[in-house]
């Protein structure tokens, strides 16, 4: 009787567990179709507690799908092995797309805790696939019969990338080396996550609080209003708050007459992650760099940079350094002359202090005003955010025939976001674009483009992309709308260029579609779009005074054009120094942890960075390379400038909105993603390889 009761109880427990799991799956949005227009995620229904079960189930399903491929009794073919692997893991992809977009743009403590659990799970899962020797055997059979398969270029590229992915993923490793490889990958996933979380916490923890009106000296009304709005948001009515977010930081550095306060906020910015507190990133960055060396060595590469660049257009670290030094030697003398000029202004005012890094923004803004009668205070009224946005849309319409319709009936990831349906020239649905403009404590700094779904095709059916474009611009105040600096306008056009790369994708395989191209090619479409922002014809399309509606006058456009080379020595040196720092960290050949600041100082001394300029990203807050995807790749913005300057010449030669040129760019680059070699795609568009001179001339660094 007792045995019977135990059996019955066990059955009931099993039944309860089964029913509970079934109920969880029925209420978890990831386990059903979204049932929304265009399959947009049902953001309002997705809760933090849904992610971990969905990740676990997604990994479980993906494992089963991989197992089916491995155990397929038929001879390996392109379809039953390469395509089958490509299309596997749909649930895991579905939950990952939402989760990682939210942790970047709208995170919280719950999501951060989930990240710490998910990171190692995904690292282990990825390694389980990349190190699956039986799966690789099937891939290798297909790869070796490539010449007999009559594959089209996109299929050939998918086969090549799949095979290469296994080689670069460590499939040749065995025994202790394989164990070490797995351990390194797991550690890196956690350390990169911690680096980003620390940086967000550091950024949020600093506030420059001003309660004396005299300390606002020099600040224009729009900056004062912004400070009051930030104070109100922090329950500090009657005061003014300035933060380390760029829309708050940069105007304060440009205009504040209070040198001590400029120094305070600037030092807080450049010491993010370097305060010897719970959020310190120095040891983490050094550990990441050492682990990357170890992983590269295991895979047979001398350094992490050699490993990364073997898969990029640059090919080798030597080629990257060659590019960087060419630019450095052109820009450094210009920056030194700029420093001398600013010191002259300081002396002329009767001051006896030497120019410091926290003075550069302030005195360069004064110089711009003096030399060109131009400053951001004069320009910002013409760059109201919605007008700029519409101007971008109009440019895309003139180039590619696209139109954008805001859809307030569609789900969105945050209440401040805006969702647009994108239509092609013939009126058919092309894509969804979600735009998110303003800073918040749950959003990391900077600006970026990502996707909730990449474009792809299965069995002839096209799945259109869902693209998100995230920025951190000045919020509207009680008296003014969001007004952008011209640098912010360029940022908006830049991210829109990335977005167009995703929106216009027309590929079969999602791993090759949209922005899935080599790291040093991905910035080409984005930086190409920046060129349009400053063109007089385009400025007159969107630069309208927010109060009067007056189109920006020719006089102002002429001043902008006259000042286009202004401060380019500083801008180029600041950026290129960071690219050198990235390369120096990642050309290490021995997996030893370094003193991060001593290493950074030595790196900057080696290239002769002048003391008045601080490297754009110091090691403890260099998120691009220690928590993003740009390690050994920060130079890519500079290489992309070479490409985009050359590409834009085609439009200057043939007409700004020449249809044939625009169509060629769309068909040969924007639609093709990574389906062919990047340089081959570029040559198809341009008819030639690019040279460096157009970029240097555009910057005013070459006579």
Among all residues, which ones are annotated catalytic?
495
Q: Do residues 214 and 227 make contact, with C-beta atoms less than 8 angstroms apart?
A: no
- The pairing of beta strand 466-470 with beta strand 429-436: parallel
Q: How far apart are CA 500 and CA 522, in angstroms?
A: 12
Q: Which long-range contacts (CB under 8 A, 24 or more apart) does 172-179 make?
A: 173/131, 173/298, 173/299, 177/298, 178/131
Q: Do residues 515 and 449 make contact, with C-beta atoms less than 8 angstroms apart?
A: yes
CA distances from 564 to 91, 557, 682 (A): 48, 11, 27
Token pair belonging to 420: 């647009």
Residues 6 or more apart in contact with residue 249 via CB below 8 angstroms: 242, 243, 265, 269
Q: How far apart are CA 193 and CA 564, in angstroms?
A: 38
Q: How far apart are CA 480 and CA 467, in angstroms?
A: 29
Cβ burial, residue 95 (10 Å; 0-12/13-18/19+): buried
C-alpha angle 382-657-403 in degrees, rounded to nearest 5: 70
Cβ burial, residue 334 (10 Å; 0-12/13-18/19+): buried
Buried b (16+ CB within 10 A) or exposed e, 118-150: bbebbbebebebbbbeebbebbbebbeeeeeee
Q: How far apart are CA 476 and CA 179, in angstroms?
A: 53
**DSSP per-residue string spanning 482-499:** -B--HHHHHHHHHHHHHH
Token pair belonging to 661: 């040129």
Residues 6 or more apart in contact with residue 623 via CB below 8 angstroms: 195, 196, 199, 444, 445, 446, 617
**DSSP per-residue string spanning 573-601:** HHHHHHHHHHHHHHT--S-----HHHHHH
Return the HEC string of 125-193.
HHHHHHCCHHHHHHHHHHHHCHHHCCCCHHHHHHHHHHHHHHHHCCCCCCHHHHHHHHHHHHHHHHHHH
Q: How far apart are CA 8 and CA 573, in angstroms?
A: 75
Token pair belonging to 234: 């922090």
Residues 6 or more apart in contact with residue 668 via CB below 8 angstroms: 681, 682, 684, 685
Q: Do residues 331 and 645 make contact, with C-beta atoms less than 8 angstroms apart?
A: no
Cβ burial, residue 36 (10 Å; 0-12/13-18/19+): middle
Q: Do residues 436 and 416 make contact, with C-beta atoms less than 8 angstroms apart?
A: yes
**DSSP per-residue string spanning 457-484:** EETTEEE--EEEEE--PPPP-SSS--B-
End-to-end CA distance of the chain: 98
Q: How far apart are CA 469 and CA 489, in angstroms?
A: 14
Residue for token pair 């805001």: 406
């Amino acid at each position: 009787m007792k045995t019977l009761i135990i059996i019955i109880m066990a059955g009931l427990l099993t039944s309860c567990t089964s029913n509970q799991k079934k109920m969880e799956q029925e209420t978890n949005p990831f386990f059903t179709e979204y049932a929304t227009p265009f399959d947009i995620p049902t953001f309002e229904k997705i809760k933090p507690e849904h992610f971990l079960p969905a990740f676990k189930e997604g990994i479980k399903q993906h494992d089963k799908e991989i197992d089916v491929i491995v155990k397929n009794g038929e001879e390996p073919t392109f379809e039953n092995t390469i395509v089958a692997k490509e299309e596997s893991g749909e649930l895991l992809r579905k939950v990952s797309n939402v989760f990682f977009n939210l942790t970047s743009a709208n995170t919280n403590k719950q999501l951060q805790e989930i990240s710490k659990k998910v990171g190692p799970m995904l690292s282990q899962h990825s390694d389980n696939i990349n190190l699956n020797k039986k799966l690789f055997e099937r891939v290798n059979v297909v790869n070796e019969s490539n010449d007999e398969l009559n594959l089209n270029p996109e299929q050939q590229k998918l086969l090549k990338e799949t095979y290469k992915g296994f080689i670069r993923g460590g499939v040749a490793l065995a025994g202790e080396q394989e164990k070490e490889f797995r351990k390194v990958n797991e550690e890196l996933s956690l350390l990169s996550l911690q680096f980003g979380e620390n940086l967000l916490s550091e950024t949020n923890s600093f506030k420059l609080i001003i309660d004396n009106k005299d300390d606002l000296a020099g600040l224009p009304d729009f900056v004062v209003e912004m400070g009051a709005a930030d104070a109100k948001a922090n329950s500090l009515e009657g005061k003014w708050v300035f933060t380390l977010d760029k829309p708050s930081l940069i105007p304060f550095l440009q205009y504040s007459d209070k040198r001590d306060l400029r120094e305070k906020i600037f030092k807080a910015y450049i010491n993010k992650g370097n305060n010897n507190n719970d959020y310190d990133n120095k040891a983490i960055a050094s550990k990441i760099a050492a682990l990357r060396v170890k992983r590269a060595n295991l895979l047979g590469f001398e350094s992490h940079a050699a490993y990364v660049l073997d898969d990029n257009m640059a090919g080798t670290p030597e080629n990257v350094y060659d590019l960087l030094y060419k630019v450095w030697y052109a820009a450094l003398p210009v920056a030194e002359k700029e420093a001398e000029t600013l010191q002259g202004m300081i002396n002329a005012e009767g001051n006896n202090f030497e120019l410091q890094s926290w003075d550069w923004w302030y005195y360069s803004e004064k110089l711009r005003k003096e030399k060109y009668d131009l400053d951001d205070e004069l320009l910002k009224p013409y760059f109201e955010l919605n007008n700029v946005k519409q101007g971008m849309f109009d440019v895309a319409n003139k180039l590619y025939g696209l139109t954008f319709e805001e859809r307030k009936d569609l789900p969105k990831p945050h209440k401040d976001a805006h969702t647009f349906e994108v239509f092609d020239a013939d009126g058919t649905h092309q894509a969804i674009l979600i735009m998110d403009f303003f800073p918040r404590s749950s959003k990391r700094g900077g600006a970026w483009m990502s996707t909730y779904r990449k474009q792809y095709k299965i069995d002839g059916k096209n799945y259109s992309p869902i693209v998100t474009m995230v920025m951190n611009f000045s919020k509207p105040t009680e008296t003014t709308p969001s007004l952008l600096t011209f640098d912010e306008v360029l940022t908006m056009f830049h991210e829109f260029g990335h977005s167009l790369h995703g929106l216009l994708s027309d590929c079969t395989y999602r791993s090759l579609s949209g922005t899935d191209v080599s790291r040093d090619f991905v910035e080409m479409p984005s930086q190409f779009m920046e060129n349009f922002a400053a063109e007089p014809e385009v400025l007159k399309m969107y630069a309208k005074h927010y109060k009067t509606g007056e189109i920006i006058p020719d006089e102002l456009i002429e001043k902008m054009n006259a000042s286009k080379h202004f401060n380019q020595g500083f801008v180029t040196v600041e950026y290129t120094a960071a690219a050198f720092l990235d390369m120096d960290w990642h050309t290490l050949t021995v997996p030893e942890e370094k003193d991060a600041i001593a290493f950074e100082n030595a790196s900057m001394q080696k290239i002769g960075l002048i003391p008045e300029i601080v490297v754009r990203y110091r090691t403890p807050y260099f998120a691009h390379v220690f928590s993003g995807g740009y390690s050994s790749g920060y130079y890519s913005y500079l290489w992309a400038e070479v490409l985009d300057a050359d590409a834009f010449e085609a439009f200057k030669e043939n007409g700004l909105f020449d249809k044939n040129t625009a169509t060629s760019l769309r068909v040969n680059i924007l639609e093709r993603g990574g389906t062919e070699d990047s340089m081959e795609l570029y040559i198809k568009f341009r008819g030639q390889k690019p040279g460096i001179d157009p970029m240097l001339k555009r910057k005013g660094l070459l006579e």
